[in-house]
Amino acid sequence: MKVVTNDIELKIALQDFNRGKRKLGFIPTMGALHEGHLHLVKQSHEENDITVVSIFINPKQFNNQDDFDKYPVTLESDKELLERGHCDILLLPSQEVIYPKGFKPVKVDIDTLNKVFEGPMRPGHFDGVIQVVNRLFEIVTPDVSYFGLKDFQQCLVIKALRNELFPKMELKFVPTIRKAEGLALSSRNARLSQLGQEKANIIFKTLAMIKELKKHIEPYDALKYGKHILTQNGFEVEYFALANADTLIESKKWLRNGKNIVLAAVWLEGVRLIDNYIF
């Protein structure tokens, strides 16, 4: 695996690579890699001729300084995992590479996405994601980029960015990788105690329960019961809601199969966890 730090080094690393005929797959990350990331890398390796992974902890997308300060940094083990996981090139850009002097933020119309769920809860977050992913797409110019569906709303934001500024690039949204008991893999899980990690399985179980309740009761009662279970188990619930999976507009009615998404953001042991379930 080659390690590069900017667009020039990346160009040199790719000089023997015939961009016209061969496909480049890209996975942007903030490091603290886990099986979920490695799954994306594996998929890219299988579907493309070359796979580039970036690690950059983007300060612009943290609306909370404490969350930024506590974000796990595990560069050495990340490198080992990527080496074993068939990553060809690791891009490790500095702040100056991503946000050079005179940096002009791009504007992307993300419509209602900024007004629901993660939008109001994390002011400025999606704008930060747009800025960094836009810069990374400009530097890497991928044919295909991979993102995990755990961050469902982020996937829709990135789709808007792609549609507006990178229409030729293909996007692949990959199902969430979970522990056997259901917990969605996330870099933030590392901040939970062993007991907390076990308890956090309840999030997925509660989301999956809503699908079962659909057969019997209305969304309002199903969601109320789901929130009750989470609160009883010591979670602080920020949101636990049903929405249309295409638009993320909240819904008071069950939608037709495949359009229902239940989204959860909860706090446990001072860690904010999100997950979702589509049915």
- Would you call 39 a catalytic residue per the annotation? no
Q: Which is nearer to ligand PAF, 116 or 161 (CB)?
A: 161
State the pairing for strand pair 144-148/170-174: parallel
Q: Which member of 37, 45, 86, 228 is catalytic?
A: 37
* Rounded CA separation 3/88 (Å): 9
For 129, other C-beta atoms within 10 Å of its C-beta total 23
Q: Which is nearer to ligand PAF, 29 or 260 (CB)?
A: 29
Q: Which is nearer to ligand PAF, 159 or 211 (CB)?
A: 159
* Rounded CA separation 146/144 (Å): 7
**Closest distance between ligand PAF and the C-beta of residue 151, in Å?**
5
**Closest distance between ligand PAF and the C-beta of residue 60, in Å?**
9
* Rounded CA separation 209/213 (Å): 6
Chain residues in the site for ligand PAF (CB under 6 A):
28-30, 58, 61, 129, 132-133, 151, 154
* Rounded CA separation 249/116 (Å): 7
**Closest distance between ligand PAF and the C-beta of residue 210, in Å?**
25
**Closest distance between ligand PAF and the C-beta of residue 255, in Å?**
26
Answer yes or no: are the C-beta atoms of 132 and 158 closer than 8 Å.
no
Q: Which is nearer to ligand PAF, 129 or 139 (CB)?
A: 129
- Catalytic annotation, residues: 37
